[in-house]
């Protein structure tokens, strides 16, 4: 072979191989990599963790915010919580919550023309592409794919409008009345709105679903890419997962009209809080500070062991007329130190026991209350035994007492 021709062929092959590699990198980066400016900004965000107690609510820049204890649903902090506002892609929290409860996560969804052409953020679905509902949910929650959200809505609801009815129904079933949705992704619409309070309650509720929790705390995930020889390799847009050690979700949101919105959560010593900030130019730092406040300012010790209860039950046919009771069980409710002394203990359903009585017999119940609200309840059980009087003593008590 002519050597010059060989060199030309070799050069052409190298250029072709380089071009193919470059295309692959660009295609993957379109799904997996944030913009250069975002990457630069991420390097300047401090890594935070829950290390010390924060007793005072930190100042924030948000127009509205709501912080909720996930286990109990208690609102720990609220600022303009009921103000109706645009929520951008925080909408996808509800879409994802509906999806993980559908029982159809492993079923195949065929992407429609409408879904593939959805404007805004995308995972680059194409018409006719087939994905599992689970894969689409990952794509929607991690990369905020509006195309994935639309495909999910059409699959589960039959249409976007019918799915919006499901969203509204499910949110209203939680007792939330300040929200209304017309689409599954959060693109601006005057009839599409919610509040920081409503979205915080929805987020806390959704986080109790193990699959939802798993999805929103995932940093990296891959799903098939039918039109390419490689998978979609996705990196979660939620920078809170990297900047705060204890963070475990949930969703970013932004449109020009809605501003910067963020739903986040963090867990410490087995306790989890959820936070929503709306129109917050300092959403990352504000959220980290508020999450830390929610996890450290409130005491979550067992009220059964920390609050003394002095109560007894009447006894029939025993050597003692009463028997002391103790509280048994677990009532954990987040309380500020100033609130603990205000907790009231209300015994109820006390039984009149008949001797002989053994230690640990159930004798009633007790409510723990704060400002008229029931924090929880536990059993009252006997803390000592009581011997019976015998048949002669029983007769005396029956006829002469």
**Together in a domain, 272 and 309:** no
Whether 330 and 382 share a structural domain: yes
CATH number of the domain that residue 57 is part of: 3.40.710.10
Residue 307 has pLDDT above 70, yes or no: yes
Contact 93, 113 (CB under 8 A): no
**Position 391 pLDDT exceeds 70:** no
4 plus 127 within the same structural domain: no
Per-residue DSSP letter, 310: -
Specify the pLDDT at position 226.
81
Q: What is the CATH number of the domain that holds 333?
A: 2.60.410.10
Give residue 3's pLDDT band: very low, low, confident or very high (50, 70, 90).
Answer: very low
- Could you tell me which of 326, 258, 291, 292 has the C-alpha nearest to residue 120? 258
Assess whether 285 and 169 both reside in one domain: yes
- The 247-255 sheet, strands edge to edge: 75-79, 64-69, 271-278, 259-268, 247-255
Whole-prediction pTM value? Answer: 0.84
Same domain for 63 and 196, yes or no, is yes
What local confidence, expressed as pLDDT, does residue 308 receive? 86
Burial class (CB in 10 A: 0-12, 13-18, 19+), 291: buried
**What's the confidence (pLDDT) of residue 390?**
60
Alpha-carbon Rg for the chain, nearest whole angstrom, is 29
Q: What is the pLDDT of residue 49?
A: 58
Distance CA 273, CA 67 (A): 7
Average pLDDT of 114-123?
96
- Which range has highest mean pLDDT (4-13, 55-64, 200-209)? 200-209
The pair of three-digit structure tokens given for residue 182, joined into one six-digit string: 């017309």
Identify whether 39 is part of a domain.
no
**Catalytic status, residue 312:** no
**14-28, 221-235, 257-271, 298-312: which has the minimum mean pLDDT?**
14-28
By mean pLDDT, which of 7-16, 148-157, 224-233, 283-292 is the weakest?
7-16
Residue 13 lies in a domain: yes
pLDDT tens-digit map of 314-371: 998 778 889 999 999 999 999 999 999 999 999 999 999 988 989 999 999 999 999 9
Question: For residue 41, is it within any domain?
Answer: no
What percent of the chain has a predicted confidence (pLDDT) above 90? Answer: 75
Structural domain span for residue 249: 46-296
Q: Read off the pLDDT band of 2 (50, 70, 90).
A: very low
Same domain, 335 and 279: no
- Is 38 among the domain residues? no
pLDDT tier at 247, thresholds 50, 70, 90: very high
pLDDT category of residue 52 using cuts at 50, 70 and 90? low
Which pLDDT does position 25 carry in this prediction?
A: 42
Active-site choice (92, 235, 237, 251): 92
| Cα(41)–Cα(34) distance, integer angstroms | 10
- 93 Cα distance to chain centroid: 9
Judge whether 89 counts as a catalytic residue.
yes
pLDDT value at residue 41 = 38
pLDDT band (50, 70, 90) for residue 33: very low
Q: Of how many residues is the chain composed? A: 401
In this prediction, residue 22 carries a pLDDT of: 42
**Is residue 37, in this structure, part of any structural domain at all?**
no
Same domain, 222 and 237: yes
Q: What is the pLDDT of residue 387?
A: 86
Q: What is the pLDDT of residue 213?
A: 98
40 within some domain? no
**Greater pLDDT, 328 or 12:** 328
| CA separation for the pair 161, 150 (Å, rounded) | 10
Could you say which of 296, 312, 332 is where a domain stops?
Answer: 296
Average pLDDT over all residues of the chain: 87
92 in active site: yes
User: Please, are residues 62 and 281 in contact by the beta-carbon 8 Å criterion?
Assistant: no
| Domain-located, residue 232 | yes
- Please write the tens of the pLDDT for every residue from 143-156: 999 999 999 999 99
Number of domains in the chain: 3
The whole-number average pLDDT for the span 286-309 is 94
Last residue of a domain, one of 238, 273, 296: 296
Q: Does one domain contain both 326 and 242?
A: no
**Model pLDDT, residue 68:** 98
Which of 275, 296, 317 corresponds to the end of one domain?
A: 296
257 in the same domain as 200: yes
The pLDDT value recorded for residue 48 is 56
pLDDT band of 54, cuts 50, 70, 90: confident
pLDDT at 396: 57
Distance CA 333, CA 184 (A): 34
Domain assignment of residue 234, yes or no: yes
Q: Are 199 and 268 part of one and the same domain?
A: yes
Per-residue pLDDT reduced to its tens digit, 169-203: 999 999 999 999 999 999 999 999 999 999 999 99
Based on the domain organization, do 271 and 361 belong to the same domain? no
307 and 226, same structural domain?
no
Please tell me which residue in 112, 121, 144, 194 is annotated as part of the active site. Answer: 144
């Amino acid at each position: 072979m002519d050597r010059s021709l060989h060199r030309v062929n070799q050069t052409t092959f190298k250029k072709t191989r380089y071009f193919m590699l470059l295309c692959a990198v660009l295609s993957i980066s379109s799904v997996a990599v944030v913009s250069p400016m975002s990457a630069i900004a991420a390097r300047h965000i401090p890594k935070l963790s829950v290390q010390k107690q924060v007793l005072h609510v930190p100042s924030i820049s948000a127009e509205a915010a709501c912080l909720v204890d996930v286990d109990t649903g208690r609102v720990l902090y609220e600022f303009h919580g009921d103000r109706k506002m645009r929520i951008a892609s925080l909408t996808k929290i509800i879409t994802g919550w509906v999806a993980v409860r559908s029982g159809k996560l492993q079923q195949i969804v065929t992407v429609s023309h409408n879904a593939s052409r959805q404007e805004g953020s995308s995972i680059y679905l194409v018409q006719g592409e087939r994905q599992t509902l689970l894969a689409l949910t990952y794509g929607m929650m991690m990369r905020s794919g509006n195309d994935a959200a639309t495909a999910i809505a059409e699959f589960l609801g039959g249409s976007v409008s019918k799915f919006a009815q499901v969203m509204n129904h499910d949110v209203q079933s939680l007792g939330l009345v300040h929200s209304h949705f017309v689409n599954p992704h959060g693109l601006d619409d005057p009839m599409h709105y919610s509040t920081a309070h409503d979205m915080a309650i929805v987020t806390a509720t959704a986080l109790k679903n193990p699959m939802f929790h798993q999805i929103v705390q995932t940093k990296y995930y891959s799903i098939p890419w039918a039109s390419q020889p490689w998978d979609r390799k996705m990196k979660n847009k939620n920078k809170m997962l990297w900047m705060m050690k204890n963070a475990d979700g949930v969703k970013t949101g932004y449109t020009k009209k809605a501003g910067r919105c963020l739903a986040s959560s963090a867990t410490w010593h087995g306790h989890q809080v959820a936070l929503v900030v709306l129109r917050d130019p300092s959403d990352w730092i504000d959220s980290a500070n508020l999450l830390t406040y929610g996890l450290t300012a409130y005491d979550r010790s067992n009220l059964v062991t920390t609050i003394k209860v002095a109560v007894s039950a009447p006894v029939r046919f025993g050597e003692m007329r009463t028997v002391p009771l103790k509280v048994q069980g677990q009532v954990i409710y987040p309380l500020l130190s100033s609130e603990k002394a205000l907790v009231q203990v209300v015994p109820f359903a006390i039984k009149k026991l008949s001797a002989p009585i053994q230690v640990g017999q159930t004798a009633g119940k007790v409510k723990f209350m704060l400002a008229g609200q029931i924090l929880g309840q536990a059993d009252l059980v006997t803390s000592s035994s009581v011997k019976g009087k015998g048949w002669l003593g029983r007769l005396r008590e029956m006829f002469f007492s």
